[in-house]
A and B are shown apart, each in its own frame.
Chain A
């Protein structure tokens, strides 16, 4: 896929185009941001990211301390220590590893550390499953991290770079998600960004709370309830403010690379009555299915939720202002309730239209256009609140 705006730059030889897996694309995005510390612990399907970074460091293409830790919890703790000391740092994980980090994730967000972490989305056990769904990431919904979902290898690379920008501008951590295997292991054409281009986009890290002996202070001490409450209020408010940070980053990134992004993407929404809502690589399949259904005369469209935290309420309401029904293709569930995206979207729309939950895939169950079409037809005869399974 060539992005319209970047054709020019490509033709002029400014951009280098190659074929990379999602994992390699993330690693390249990390490399050009020049983190000083990388903490690595392997887990499928993330492993290729940290392996590629190890190769960059070994070849001298990335000058960083590369620390091979004994657990994911420690990976995030190493990154936290490095950022607290004032340098940019990176790690990546998946599934069980992400769950193992859970305590540290709250600590990083509460500590206001601008950490960037890639997450190759994968199901969680038991039973064992290495394939893609989003239960790992959405189980971390309330840790105070920002969450963006990539739909392609190109996006995975671009969002990684933008994540550093937004994280460091807001002192909030970011998880950049890419579908396990579907994106992490699939090679696609990618336009590479070179370090000098990123230089114009991403200034050096200036973390205001970094440890210093010139003005010694205590990071993360006991706070009495009133102050703690205020800290949490600030964290909450700064999340909402970070929407502006993403908007600014998307815009600037468009200027630098010619590739534009938005918190929410719409496809064939202009006269759509039923709109699929999904995220990640699944958006590509749904896009194709929308075309198929359109050719059958169905007035359908697609919304791809790229930014999940902070939640882009206004963008979503705007995209879905005049539709009759939203069909959410969930890949993460709140057991005893319904799909997590479904709940979020219904809450955001505030009754504008019915929001139906379709559990599209757990643990990598294949979602073909036929599966989506089937969900579409079944959904038309059930009411809101009935959870459909593919």
Chain B
């Protein structure tokens, strides 16, 4: 891959994330391709804490914290002001969790996408309300334990297809990324920076605390998510779909078995989980085919 791993750091050491936090790693990587003018907008989330307690600041960038549901709206206001001030070269980036993006702030996200606001919206998805101590969100996958879906209930519903929802808005750029694939992530963020209009990047961020796994396994579990096909790495530029990494199709059990949150799944739940993953892939393959970029998939 042509992209070198940039040494630039806009994130300081000593942040307040849990050990092994995928969301901290994702931010560090993403900022490597952003410039120092970037405005970062963070709604209530783990990152409200990770960013540091005054006067400490994890990011060396202008950052604004917002209420839970309105980060895209605050970003809209910042963008509008920058435009009126003639500072069009400044990037605005919302960095929001799944609780904000999938649930409480979904309306504002949809509205900003519909208006094709000129900023990057990143959903760092750790698949539950982790900052409040692991409660179910609509991003939580089926079969997962959380404190509000305790054994023996578990999460029954499928994970909301947020990418699909954003596709329906017809925005210029959508991508999924994983900090376990830094080159892929960096390429997508760099590409997003060069596009005007609403750009959406969904980053799956393993959370050792909520996923019930060892802190040292973050990168590994992120890889298992991608290689098992649970989290496809894709890119949709102006409606054209592209698979940016072909999974090696390891058994889904390897991904599930690496995390305590799935430990209570029975055979029925596992079958339902696999069915969900398979149906998503069928849909993705159709889209790829329609975009003329069908991969050759084995498995």
Contact = CB atoms under 8 A, between A and B. Distances in A.
Interface residues on A, range: 35 or more
Given A73-B70, A216-B62, A37 B54 contact: no
A144 to B, nearest CB: 15
Report whether over half of chain B's contact residues are helix, strand or loop; otherwise say mixed. mixed
Interface of A: 36-37, 39, 64-65, 67-71, 73-75, 77-87, 89, 103-104, 107, 211-213, 216-224, 227
* Listed residue (B60, B62, B65, B75) with the most chain A CB atoms within 10 angstroms of its CB: B62
A221 B73 contact: no
A64 B74 contact: no
Interface residues on B, range: 35 or more
B77 A79 contact: yes
Contacts of A223: 53-54
B81 A67 contact: no
A211 B114 CA distance: 26
B64 A84 contact: yes
Given A69-B111, A211-B64, A213-B90, A104 B80 contact: no
Contacts of B59: 216, 218
B66 A107 contact: yes
Report whether over half of chain A's contact residues are helix, strand or loop; otherwise say mixed. mixed
A77 B73 contact: yes
Contacts of B82: 85
Contact of A81 (B48, B49, B78): B78
A70 B107 contact: yes
A84 B90 contact: no
Nearest to B81: A85
9 contacts: A36-B85, A70-B114, A73-B70, A77-B73, A82-B78, A211-B62, A211-B78, A213-B90, A224-B53
Given A39-B77, A213-B36, A70 B111 contact: yes
B36 A216 contact: yes
Nearest to A211: B62
Contacts of B85: 36, 85-87
A42 to B, nearest CB: 14
B67 to A, nearest CB: 5
B187 interface: no
A64 B115 contact: no
Contact of A71 (B57, B65, B107): B107
Interface in B53-111: 53-54, 57, 59-67, 69-70, 72-85, 90, 107-108, 110-111
Contacts of B111: 69-71, 74
B81 A87 contact: yes
A222 B67 contact: no
* Listed residue (B39, B79, B84, B90) with the most chain A CB atoms within 10 angstroms of its CB: B84
Contacts of A221: 51-54, 57, 63, 65
A36 B80 CA distance: 8
Contacts of A216: 36, 59-63
A217 B77 contact: no
* Listed residue (A87, A216, A219) with the most chain B CB atoms within 10 angstroms of its CB: A216
